[in-house]
Amino acid sequence: MKRERIYLDNAATTPLRTEVGEAMRAVAEDSNFNPSSLHAEGRRAAAVLDDARERVASLLRATRNEIAFTSSGTEADNLALIGTARRAQPGAHLVTTAIEHHAVLGAMDRLRDEGFEITVLPVGASGRVDVDQFAAALRPSTVMASVMYANNEIGTVQPIAELARVARARGVLFHSDAVQAPSWLALETDELHVDLLSLSAHKFGGPKGVGMLYTRRGTPLAPIIHGGGQEFGRRAGTPNVAGIAGLARALELAVLERPEQTARVAGLRDRLERGIVAIDDVQINGAGPRLPNIVNASFDGVESAALLIALDLAGIAVSAGSACASGSLQPSHVLAALGSDGRRHGGAIRFSLGTTTSESDIDRVLAILPAVLAEQRRPVTPHGGMGRV
């Protein structure tokens, strides 16, 4: 009998939800036209696009022209940061944190090369940004601050509303990369007080290659892709109408099911974490408020790549720290920012649960993990024994 695999890499990407696939297929079959065309077919595509935008806006308690669809979360982050900086004085100052996704850190590096000043705030062992330290980092020349809502590697949740209020009081724009949030955390932009917010459909049951940026009305933002006037002049290029319809449907389902799924998945996460900490020489990375679906654990005496492969062979899909860096197994910048030593993040594994994870999945992982780990921890014997590979 073929054994079902257990997918615990939902922070890397989620499976496409059936309802979302159906919504996308209907659009692809009926309305796969250019929404800028004036004929009936084009108007049909434009109606689908408008409808998706209205639904997304209402879920975020925003207005339709505050929503611009993009090709990814990465593009939304780049647009937020580079687009804001391009409207500011040369040499202006921006603030971010050491545990942001590379989509933010890479854009900040680019802005530094262009002469902007960038402050990267530390987070300390808990992985949480200190509000006072954040306030102290703001200068008269600061134009924007970008702090992620929830971290993709360790799941720590940042006090976004508080940070955004501090920024607003100082006249600083506030962006949050909320890519990991939609299935678990509230996204009402009026309560978060953010000026800009990035999402990516494939992290909440939608398709890959579709994202969006919320931009509060009146926020100065220059486009980073030049061409036609689509997306209110914020993002040129013919929109991916079926993908956008998929994003809207996935977001509706995520928001609708959030209360129940958050409680259910947090219970499974706790069960998994209790089982993991019962194993010898294990530490959980990150503390304080966390997403309900991520457990990041460092296992002493193993390499995370070897453990990941052994778990994969045993039917369990996980990731080593973060899978987002082009599949490379570089030491994690997030774990480094927590101050963990090299040995700790050498053996770090991220288990990320999703809305399809079941109790029996968790029980099977807990049944398999100790033996896989013991095998990995066995010393290599000098004469071709069955030691660690």
Residues forming the active site: 324
| C-alpha separations of 226 from 138, 234, 235, 291 in Å | 31, 9, 7, 36
Binding status of residue 70 toward ligand PLP by CB under 6 A: no
| Strands (E) located in 288-368 | 294-299, 316-317, 348-352
**d(C-alpha 183, C-alpha 355), whole Å:** 8
User: Of the two residues 73 and 243, which places its CB atom closer to ligand PLP in the complex?
Assistant: 73
Residue 350 touches ligand PLP, criterion: CB under 6 A: no
Q: Where are the alpha helices (DSSP H) in 212-303?
A: 241-277
> Is residue 152 a contact residue for ligand PLP (CB under 6 A)?
yes
Q: How far apart are CA 205 and CA 16, in angstroms?
A: 5
- Does 182 bind ligand PLP (CB under 6 A)? Our answer is no
- Written as one string, the DSSP assignment of 354-369 is -TT--HHHHHHHHHHH
Give, rounded to a whole angstrom, the gap between the first and last alpha carbons of the chain. Answer: 28
If one asks whether residue 224 binds ligand PLP (CB under 6 A), the answer comes out as: no
* CA dist., res. 185 & res. 183, Å (int): 6
For 244, list phi and psi in degrees, rounded to 5: -70, -40
Q: Quick check: 223 binds ligand PLP (CB under 6 A)?
A: no
Q: Is the dihedral of CA 17, 20, 25, 26 positive or negative?
A: positive
Among 76, 50, 79, residue whose Cα is nearest residue 63: 50
Measured from the CB atom, is 255 or 323 closer to ligand PLP? 323
* Closest CB to ligand PLP among residues 143, 213: 213
Applying CB under 6 A, does 244 fall inside the site for ligand PLP? no
Q: The tokens 């073929």 sit on which residue?
A: 2
Window of 175-183, 213-221, 346-354, 361-369 that interacts with ligand PLP by CB under 6 A: 175-183
If one asks whether residue 159 binds ligand PLP (CB under 6 A), the answer comes out as no
If one asks whether residue 276 binds ligand PLP (CB under 6 A), the answer comes out as no
Q: Identify which of residues 99 and 310 has a Cβ nearer to ligand PLP in the complex.
A: 99
Q: In this complex, which beta carbon is closest to ligand PLP, that of residue 35 or of residue 211? A: 211
Stretch touching ligand PLP by CB under 6 A, among 14-22, 71-79, 327-335, 374-382:
71-79
Contact in structure between 240 and 210 (CB atoms under 8 Å): yes
Where in 82-101 is the site for ligand PLP (CB under 6 A)?
Answer: 101
Residue 270: Cβ within 10 Å count? 13
Stretch 103-132 residues interacting with ligand PLP (CB under 6 A): 103
Distance CA 26, CA 97 (A): 41
Answer yes or no whether residue 73 interacts with ligand PLP by CB under 6 A.
yes
**Piece of 69-77, 189-197, 292-300, 360-368 that binds ligand PLP (CB under 6 A):** 69-77
Q: Which is nearer to ligand PLP, 81 or 173 (CB)?
A: 81
- The count of residues interacting with ligand PLP (CB under 6 A) is 14
Instruction: Examine residue 324 and tell whether it contacts ligand PLP (CB under 6 A).
Output: yes
Pick one of 14, 31, 74, 84: the residue that binds ligand PLP (CB under 6 A).
Answer: 74
**Per CB under 6 A, 72 contacts ligand PLP:** yes
Q: Are 61 and 189 in contact (CB under 8 A)?
A: yes
For position 200 contacting ligand PLP by CB under 6 A, the verdict is: yes
- Alpha-carbon span 305 to 318, nearest angstrom: 10
Cα(134)–Cα(288) distance, integer angstroms: 18
- Applying CB under 6 A, which part among 72-80, 81-89, 167-175, 261-269 lies near ligand PLP? 72-80
Residues binding ligand PLP (CB under 6 A): 72-74, 77, 101, 103, 148, 152, 177, 179-180, 200, 211, 324
